[in-house]
Amino acid sequence: MHPVTWPVSLGLLGLAGLVLLHLVDPNEPGNYPTCPWLLLTGTFCPGCGTMRAVALLTHLDVVGALGMNPLLVLLLPYLALTYAAWLVGTLRPRARPPVPAPTWFVWTLLVAFVVFWIARNLPWFSFLAPGTPLLPAW
């Protein structure tokens, strides 16, 4: 199998998912399943609102997407750059292996993920819950 197969396949799968989310509204009941974590615990997981955020981003509604899952919207540039580096790395391989992410960065990302998970379920940070407008409606 050619090394570029995995990144291209993943990119095409992601593109198909984006088209599906653009065409089929996740806010309509019955179109997609409910988050299993939300069903079991009644609390939001860090991924709750991701599908609606991505659907809103396909309609270029960044503020609405921030209201659904701000962590995802903030991480999207990093995810896009990481994917692009992976794709370019398979198209033009180097003699030396790629440099992994620094340990401090991985730990910071993990801590941010856990803090976001806890905070969005606390009453003081309810603005982090999916569907909550981050900006006041003046």
Q: What is the pLDDT of residue 129?
A: 87
pLDDT at 133: 57
Which tokens go with 107?
Answer: 């730990």
- The CB density around residue 30, as the number of other CB atoms within 10 Å, is 5
List the domain boundaries for the chain. Answer: 5-128
pLDDT at 31: 85
Task: Report d(CA 24, CA 70) in Å as an integer.
Answer: 22
Q: Which of 109, 131, 124 is nearest to 26 (CA)?
A: 131
Closest CA to 129 of 52, 55, 21, 29: 52
Query: How do the pLDDT tens digits run along the chain, 138 residues long?
Result: 777 888 889 899 999 999 999 999 888 888 888 888 888 888 899 999 999 999 999 999 999 999 999 999 999 999 999 999 888 888 887 777 777 888 998 899 999 999 999 999 998 988 888 886 554 444
